[in-house]
């Protein structure tokens, strides 16, 4: 196995389980005859820079990092694959039942808790979609939680902060992604007698494997072959797929990032 043949993948270490996931996926790739290794980064900004410099071959990117890579390479970067759970992701606008908010227009004059400034699902797109729905954000009091910046919302910490603000009455409404909403409900952290969903955003796509534009066709084919060979029916694969929050790896698509591209232009 030579260094040249090894695919070097970048991932952000937002949680200890990341090591377990990529150790397992590396082992799977080797079993498929595809030498692969991974490098962990503390933030997506550094990961994007190292991908663009060609220091890593592939990056497991958030939607924000994916769009930035596409923009920086003028659309020449290579999208290799995504999770089934990355398609048609959505965000929620939650409200306190005692806030008097019955429609989006009622957000005027109220306090809206939002996630970190680099979180697609907890801030960037919810605010973009609210504006598209006619909400004048200058009339809304934003309560931002800029926790874990650089992780692009992966940790979910800022969304937990949004829920806490709602529970404590420091905010009348709040934005967060579907995943944290479902997980926090399951954990019993949502008091449904106090908090309800006011509105759900249109769908958008989430994470993507991005490759450097100059990555060799051989490495591209090998990466895709090994990735799409993972099967839910295989118990060994299933453990990794569950940790990464999917049942099936799917081919890439770009349409689901259009709203984020527009939101970033407006910013």
Q: What is the Rg, in whole angstroms, of the alpha carbon atoms belonging to the chain?
A: 20
pLDDT of residue 93: 98
In tens, the pLDDT along 134-152 reads 999 999 999 999 999 999 9
Q: Which of 182, 32, 177, 207 is nearest to 116 (CA)?
A: 177
Q: Give whole-number Cα distances, 26 to 32, 44, 164, in Å.
A: 10, 21, 38
CA 73 to chain centre: 21
Q: Which of 28, 6, 77, 67 is nearest to 238 (CA)?
A: 28
pLDDT of residue 1: 40
Burial class (CB in 10 A: 0-12, 13-18, 19+), 142: middle
Torsion angles phi and psi, residue 265, rounded to 5: -65, -40
pLDDT of residue 2: 47
pLDDT of residue 4: 76
Q: Which of 123, 147, 150 is nearest to 137 (CA)?
A: 123
In tens, the pLDDT along 148-202 reads 999 999 999 999 999 999 999 999 999 999 999 999 999 999 999 999 999 999 9
In the block, tokens 């939607």 appear at: 63
In angstroms, the CA 238 to CA 231 distance is: 7
In order of their start, the domains of the chain are: 7-86+206-258 (3.40.190.10), 91-200 (3.40.190.10)
In angstroms, the CA 105 to CA 79 distance is: 38
Instruction: Name the strand (E) or helix (H) holding 94.
Output: strand 91-96
Q: What is the pTM of this model?
A: 0.95
Q: Count CB neighbours of 21 within 10 A.
A: 20
Tally the residues of the chain: 267
Contact call for residues 52 and 73 (beta carbons, < 8 A): yes
pLDDT tier for residue 3 given thresholds of 50, 70 and 90: low
In tens, the pLDDT along 78-97 reads 999 999 999 999 999 999 99
Running DSSP on this structure, what letter comes out for residue 124?
A: I
Residues 6+ apart with CB under 8 A from 127: 114, 137, 175, 263
């Amino acid at each position: 196995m030579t260094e040249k043949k090894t695919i070097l993948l970048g991932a952000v270490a937002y949680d200890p389980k990341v090591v377990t996931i990529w150790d397992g996926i590396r082992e799977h790739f080797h079993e498929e005859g595809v030498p692969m290794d991974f490098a962990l980064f503390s933030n997506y900004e550094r990961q994007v820079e190292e991908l663009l410099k060609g220091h890593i071959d592939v990056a497991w990117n958030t939607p924000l990092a994916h769009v930035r890579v596409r923009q920086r390479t003028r659309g020449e970067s290579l999208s290799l694959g995504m999770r089934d759970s990355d398609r048609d992701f959505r965000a929620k606008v939650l409200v306190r039942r005692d806030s008097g908010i019955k429609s989006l227009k009622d957000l005027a004059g109220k306090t809206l808790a939002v996630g970190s400034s680099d979180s697609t699902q907890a801030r960037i797109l919810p605010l973009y979609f609210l504006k598209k729905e006619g909400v004048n954000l200058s009339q809304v009091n934003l309560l931002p939680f800029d926790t874990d910046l650089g992780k692009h919302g992966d940790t979910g910490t800022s969304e937990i902060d949004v829920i806490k603000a709602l529970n404590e009455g420091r905010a009348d409404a709040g934005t967060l992604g579907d995943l944290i909403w479902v997980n926090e409900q399951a954990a019993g952290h949502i008091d449904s007698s106090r908090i309800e969903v006011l509105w759900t955003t249109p769908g958008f796509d989430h994470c993507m494997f991005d490759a450097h534009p100059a990555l060799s066709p051989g490495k591209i084919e090998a990466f895709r072959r090994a990735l799409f060979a993972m099967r839910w029916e295989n118990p060994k694969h299933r453990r990794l797929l569950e940790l990464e929050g999917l049942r099936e790896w799917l081919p890439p698509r770009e349409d689901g990032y259009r709203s984020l591209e527009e939101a970033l232009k407006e910013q």
